[in-house]
Structure 1
Amino acid sequence: MEEHHHHSRRSFLQGKAAAETLAKQALEWLESKTALIDRLPSDPALHVRASRRAMACEFAVQYHRADRQAAGDFLDAFDMIEAVEDELTIYRDVSSVVEINRHAAESPVEVNGELFGLLELSLNLFQATKGAFDITSTPLSRVWGFLKRAGRLPDELEITEALSCMGSDQLELSSQDQTIRFLQPGIEINFNSIGKGHALDRVAEQLDEKGIGDYLWHGGSSSILARGRNRASLDECWSIGLRHPLQPECRIAEFHLRNRSLGTAGGATQFLEIDGKKYGHILDPRTGWPATGTYTSTVLAPTAAEADALATAFYVSGVEGAADICSNRPDVGAVLVCPTENDAKIRIHAYNMHSEDWTPSQDWQVSI
C-alpha cells in the first residue's frame, strides 16, 4: 500500500517538511496517457512540484527548489483555486453562479468585481468568436448527458428546445451597478470552458502581489500558465509537449512558454459512442451537435482564461474561426491538429506561431 505522510500546516511552512513532501509529490505526479499535452521531464533536484485536486481535475505547480521558502505562498494559491471553485461551481447547492442562475431571470443580480470581469470577458469572447464560445450552453450539455458524464443521444426536438434557452446575447451586464440579468427565462451560465484558466489567472495575480515569479501552473491536462524564467533551462522557457491525437506516445510539437498561457481542447478523452459512431463532448452551441473536423486545438494567449476559452472556440469553429481571430489578435497563437482523407494522417495548422513560441516535429507538415 502506498504510504502517505501528513504534516501540519505549521510544520509544512517551516521548510523541511515542505521540501520533503513536495519532492515526494514531484515523483508521484504522473500524467495520464490520454492527456493532450505533457510537460517535458525536469530534474527533481532543480524543480519542486505540488498538487491538489479541484474543479474535477488535478491542479499542480512547478517551481525552483531554490525558491522553496515560498512553499506557504503556493499553498495559499491552492486555497485561492478552491475559493474560485466555490464561487463558480454549478454542482453544489450554493455558489455565486448558482444564485445567478436562480434569480437573474427575475431581477438583476449583483456580483463581485472578479466575477463581473469574468462575465464581461465571456461576453466579449462570445461576440468575437461569433457564438463558438458561449457560457450559456448548459441546457445543451444537459440533453446530451455530458453535464453529468452520462452521455446520451438526444432527439432533434430536445436539441431545438435546448438551443432556444441559450445565447450569451441574452445576458445583460451593468458595469455601473455590477449586475447581471437574464433577458429570458431558462438561461443558465456555466464557466466550464473558462473557469480553470480564470482560477490560474487569479493565482498569478495573488503571487504577483507577493513578488513571486518563475513558476508553471497546470490545471488538469488542458490549462497552463507560465510566469518568469525556467532557470533550469538554457532558453529559460517552460516547455510543454503536444501529443499526437492518434499516437499519444508521440509528440508532434513542443511549446516554449514565458509569461504566457496555454489552453488546449480535444474530444479524445470524453465521448459518447453509439453504433460505432463517436460523439465528442465539446458541443457546438450554434448547431447543438458535437463539434467535428478538429482533433485538438491549442492556443497561446496573454491570460489563461483567454487561452482556455479560445481553445474551445477554435475546436468548435475550426481553422476558419482560428484564422479570423488570430488575424486580429497578434498576441494570440493557435495550433489546430485536423484529420485528413487518410485516417492515419493528420494536418497541422498554425497561426501567429513564431520560432520562439514552439518547435514542431519534422515528422509532420505544418500549414501556416
Structure 2
Amino acid sequence: MKKKILAVIMCIALIIPMAACSKKDEKIDKYATKMDTIMHLTAYGKNAEKAIDAAFSRVDEIERMASSTISTSDVSKINQAAGKEYVKVHPEIIKIIKTSLEYSKISNGAFDITVGPLIKLWGIGTTSERVPMDSEIKERLALVGYNNISINEADSSVKLMKEGMSIDLGGVAKGFTADEIVKIFKKYGVESAIINLGGSSIYTLGEKPDKSMWSIAIQNPRKEKNEGNICLVKMNQAALSTSGDYQRFFIKDGKRYHHILDPATGYPADAGVMSDMVLIDSSIENPNMLADILTKITFVSGVEKGLKTIDSLKGVSCMVVTTDFKLYKSSKWDAKIEDLSPEFKMAN
C-alpha cells in the first residue's frame, strides 16, 4: 500500500452558508496524512470532533493490519508465510480478502490482490520505479492468481499456496476504511459529513446543513490540481470512488506508466481508459469498498466489458473517461453533471 503522496486529484466543492450556525450545524474540519495519503474529514454536529478523532484512530488500526509495508501487519505475515503455512488474521482482513476474491471471479481476474510481486517489481510511486524487462514480468506473472489464496474461516486464517506470492490491498483498503468511518460517524450521531480519503474514496453522509446537494469536482486527468475539472457531480448520500492513470505514474521515453496493473499482462492497464468514477447507493452493504474495487475493474476491463459488469450490479453506476476525452455512462447513471469542460464530450 506504499504510495507517493502526490497532489490530491479531486477536490470537494462545498458551499456553506455564512449565517450563524446552531450546535447541530457546527462544522469540524480535520486533515491527516495516513495510509500515505492526505485524508480530509468534515462533520457537522455537537459530537463531530469526537467522531473525527475516533475515525482517525480507526484508520491507524486498519493500516496496522492491512499495510504490506509494515512488517508486523496481517498482510505482511501472510506474505512472509507464502507457500508454507496458514496465518491467523483479524476478521476484518478475512472480510477484505473474501470480498476481493468474489469480485475477482465476477471480473474474470481484472481485479486481483495477488499482484503484489508485480507492484514491487514496477515500484511505481516509489524511488525505485522503473520499466522492468519482459522476462522479469513473465517470471512474476507466474506468482499471480487469486485462485491460489486459501481461506480457513473456521480459525480466521489465510494461506498463499505458492512460495513467493504476495497480496496487496492497496486497491481495496481505503474503501474498506471509508466504510468503517461511516460506522463511527453514525455511532456518534453525526448526520451530515463528507469523508475524503485521498480524493479517490469519498462518502457523503446525509445532507448538507443548507439542504443543497453535495458537489464533487472531478479533476481533469491531464491537468494539475486546480488547473481544471472534467465536471461537477451532484450527489446525495452515496459512495464515490475514482481511479485513473494520473494518480501515480511516471513517464519514460514519452510513455506514461501508471500504477493500475493488468493482472493478465503484468503491465499497466491499457484499455483506453484514463479515469473512471463509480457511484454506489448508500443502501448497498460496504459501498465504499465495492466502489474502490469496481473502479479498478472498469479501468482494467475497458468501457464495454467494464460497464457490462457495472450494469449487472444493483445500486451501482459508473462514468468512464477514455483517452480520446469522451465520457461513457452506465445505464443506471443518473447523477446530475454540471460545468462539463469543453475538452470532454459525452459519448452516450
TM-score for the superposition, normalised by structure 1: 0.83
Asked if the contact 1:40–1:241 (Cα under 8 Å) also holds between the matched residues in 2, the reply is yes
Give the one of 327, 330, 335 matched to 1:348: 327
Q: 1:362 to 1:273 in 2, by over 3 A?
A: closer
Asked if the contact 2:6–2:248 (Cα under 8 Å) also holds between the matched residues in 1, the reply is no
Q: Distance in 2 between matches of 1:44 and 1:86?
A: 39
Identity %: 25
Give the one of 121, 131, 137 matched to 2:99: 121
Give the one of 59, 75, 89 matched to 2:39: 59
- Confirm whether residue 337 of structure 1 aligns to residue 321 of structure 2: yes
Aligned residues: 328
Asked if the contact 2:14–2:214 (Cα under 8 Å) also holds between the matched residues in 1, the reply is no
Matches within 5 A, 1:238-277: 238-247=214-223, 249-277=227-255
Could you tell me how far 1:91 is from its partner in structure 2?
Answer: 1.2
Could you tell me how far 1:320 is from its partner in structure 2?
Answer: 2.1
Matches within 5 A, 1:304-323: 304-323=288-307
Could you tell me how far 1:212 is from its partner in structure 2?
Answer: 2.4
Q: Distance in 2 between matches of 1:189 and 1:44?
A: 46
Could you tell me how far 1:257 is from its partner in structure 2?
Answer: 3.1
Q: Match of 1:314, SS?
A: helix
Alignment partner, residue 9 of structure 2: 36
Give the one of 246, 265, 273 matched to 1:287: 265
Asked if the contact 1:109–1:179 (Cα under 8 Å) also holds between the matched residues in 2, the reply is yes
Q: Distance in 2 between matches of 1:288 and 1:216?
A: 36
Q: Match of 2:154, SS?
A: coil
For 1:243, give the aligned amino acid.
Q
- Confirm whether residue 96 of structure 1 aligns to residue 65 of structure 2: no
Alignment partner, residue 24 of structure 2: none
Q: Distance in 1 between matches of 2:339 and 2:93?
A: 37
Could you tell me how far 1:357 is from its partner in structure 2?
Answer: 5.1
Q: Could you report, residue by residue, the CA deviation over 1:141-188 in whole angstroms, capped at 9, with x for unpaired residues?
A: 122122734211111110001100111111112333322122221111
Could you tell me how far 1:93 is from its partner in structure 2?
Answer: 2.1
Give the one of 191, 205, 221 matched to 1:213: 191
Q: Could you report, residue by residue, the CA deviation over 1:254-286 in whole angstroms, capped at 9, with x for unpaired residues?
A: 223333211111112422322222222221111
Q: Match of 1:289, SS?
A: coil
Q: Could you report, residue by residue, the CA deviation over 1:67-98 in whole angstroms, capped at 9, with x for unpaired residues?
A: 14331121111100111111111112211111
Q: Distance in 1 between matches of 2:268 and 2:205?
A: 34
Name which structure has the greater RCO, CA cutoff 8 Å, separation 6+: 2
Q: Match of 1:49, SS?
A: strand
Q: Distance in 2 between matches of 1:259 and 1:351?
A: 19
For 1:211, give the aligned amino acid.
G
Q: Distance in 1 between matches of 2:341 and 2:261?
A: 32
Could you tell me how far 1:111 is from its partner in structure 2?
Answer: 2.0
Q: Distance in 1 between matches of 2:163 and 2:327?
A: 42
Asked if the contact 1:138–1:147 (Cα under 8 Å) also holds between the matched residues in 2, the reply is no
For 2:41, give the aligned amino acid.
V
Q: Distance in 2 between matches of 1:155 and 1:84?
A: 35
Q: Match of 1:284, SS?
A: coil
Q: Distance in 2 between matches of 1:154 and 1:283?
A: 13
- Confirm whether residue 179 of structure 1 aligns to residue 157 of structure 2: yes
Could you tell me how far 1:33 is from its partner in structure 2?
Answer: 9.6
- Confirm whether residue 230 of structure 1 aligns to residue 214 of structure 2: no
Could you tell me how far 1:36 is from its partner in structure 2?
Answer: 3.4
Asked if the contact 1:62–1:215 (Cα under 8 Å) also holds between the matched residues in 2, the reply is yes
Q: Match of 1:198, SS?
A: helix
Q: Distance in 1 between matches of 2:105 and 2:42?
A: 35
Q: Distance in 1 between matches of 2:36 and 2:6?
A: 18
TM-score for the superposition, normalised by structure 2: 0.87
For 2:36, give the aligned amino acid.
A
Q: Distance in 1 between matches of 2:9 and 2:188?
A: 32
Q: Match of 2:16, SS?
A: coil
- Confirm whether residue 361 of structure 1 aligns to residue 340 of structure 2: yes
Q: Distance in 1 between matches of 2:333 and 2:176?
A: 26
Matches within 5 A, 1:187-198: 187-198=165-176
Q: Unaligned stretches of 5+ in structure 2?
A: 22-26
- Confirm whether residue 69 of structure 1 aligns to residue 53 of structure 2: no
CA RMSD of aligned residues (A): 2.2
Q: Match of 1:321, SS?
A: helix
Q: 1:357 to 1:128 in 2, by over 3 A?
A: farther
